[in-house]
Amino acid sequence: MEPKTLAAPLLALLIGGAAMAADAPNPLAQSPTWQDLRADVTGAAEIAPAGSLFTVEAPHRAEDAATVPVHIVQTDPAATITGATVVVDENPAPVAGTFSFGAAMAPLDFELRVRVNQYSNVRVIAETPEGLRMDGRFVKASGGCSAPATKVPAAALAAMGQMKLRLFGAAQPEQQSGQQPEQSVARREAQIQIRHPNYSGLQRDQITQLFVPAHFIDHLEVWQGEEQLFAMDGGISISENPTFRFGYADNGTEALTVKARDTEGNEFEQVLPKAGG
């Protein structure tokens, strides 16, 4: 009788462990979709695994498919990441955005929010002097590209272009390679939010039930003085009210400048004082 007594709890433990493993964060799944997309995104360029260069953090099950956080963390501080392409395989427009990063962003610690329309790989293809490297996560979410905007169109358009800067924690001294101690710079963490509906073209007006035409920010630049921190060319997979959180080496200027343009030709520029962050 003793073996039977032990067998039931052991079986329950194994089943429970399998269930926990199924819900654990998992890397990129096999994707025939990516095989079809790859040539359009990277051409014939070779893509190596990220390895120890960087990791991508994203929820396995998204709380809100319209605002899924994607966090890129460089794990090899000695390496260089000059740019990245963020791809949501199963979205109607898979390339969420292409980014370029200035030297002050190293080592890269960068988060954005994307829409995920159905269960999909979310991948980051990083550009380095040695070639392309890739990592990502499989995200369970659905309906992100067609989810209704949080504000009625009139209110969304009235607030369009407003920006907000938040700074987190105290500036941390950072010793740059080859510098003397008195030349060390401060490492800051910032978040920038831009009010914009970023309509995907797949959402319906909740009153007329007609599709709302696509209207989104397609170019963005963030500067500290004359030094560009990062730039983005974006598509419909970037979330409503685009938000970016990032670490950077503070060069001592008193403000960050954000420049943005949308698909209707509207241009927005705002100087965001650090003292107000």
**52-77 confidence digits (pLDDT tens):** 999 999 999 999 999 999 999 999 99
The pLDDT of residue 170 is 64
Give dist(CA 53, CA 41) in Å, integer. Answer: 21
* Per-residue pLDDT at 21 exceeds 90: no
**249-271 confidence digits (pLDDT tens):** 999 999 999 999 999 999 999 99
* Per-residue pLDDT at 179 exceeds 80: no
Give dist(CA 161, CA 175) in Å, integer. Answer: 36
Phi, psi at 177, each rounded to 5°: -55, 130
In a domain, 6, yes or no: no
In a domain, 171, yes or no: yes
Give dist(CA 48, CA 246) in Å, integer. Answer: 25
In a domain, 4, yes or no: no
Q: Residue 14: which pLDDT band, with cuts at 50, 70 and 90?
A: very low
* Per-residue pLDDT at 22 exceeds 50: no
Residue whose token pair is 């319906």: 204
Amino acid at 28: L
Q: Residue 161: which pLDDT band, with cuts at 50, 70 and 90?
A: very high
Peptide bond into 107 cis (omega under 30): yes
In a domain, 87, yes or no: yes
- Rounded to two decimals, what is the model's pTM? 0.86
* Per-residue pLDDT at 273 exceeds 60: yes
Mean pLDDT of the 218-231 span: 98
* Per-residue pLDDT at 92 exceeds 90: yes
Averaged pLDDT of the chain: 88
* Per-residue pLDDT at 13 exceeds 80: no
* Per-residue pLDDT at 15 exceeds 70: no
Mean pLDDT of the 38-46 span: 96
The pLDDT of residue 9 is 45
Structure tokens at 274: 């650090």
CATH number of residue 242's parent domain? 2.60.40.2470
Q: Residue 121: which pLDDT band, with cuts at 50, 70 and 90?
A: very high
Range of weakest confidence among 177-181, 199-203, 228-232, 244-248: 177-181
In a domain, 14, yes or no: no
The pLDDT of residue 276 is 63
Number of domains in the chain: 1
* Per-residue pLDDT at 275 exceeds 90: no
In a domain, 17, yes or no: no
Range of weakest confidence among 34-48, 120-134, 158-172, 220-234: 158-172
Q: Which domain holds residue 73?
A: 26-276
In a domain, 226, yes or no: yes
Percent of the chain with pLDDT over 90: 73
Pairing of strands 131-139, 120-128: antiparallel
Structure tokens at 45: 């360029």
Q: Residue 210: which pLDDT band, with cuts at 50, 70 and 90?
A: confident
The pLDDT of residue 119 is 97
Residues 6+ apart with CB under 8 A from 198: 215, 216, 217, 236, 238, 239, 240, 241, 242
In a domain, 2, yes or no: no
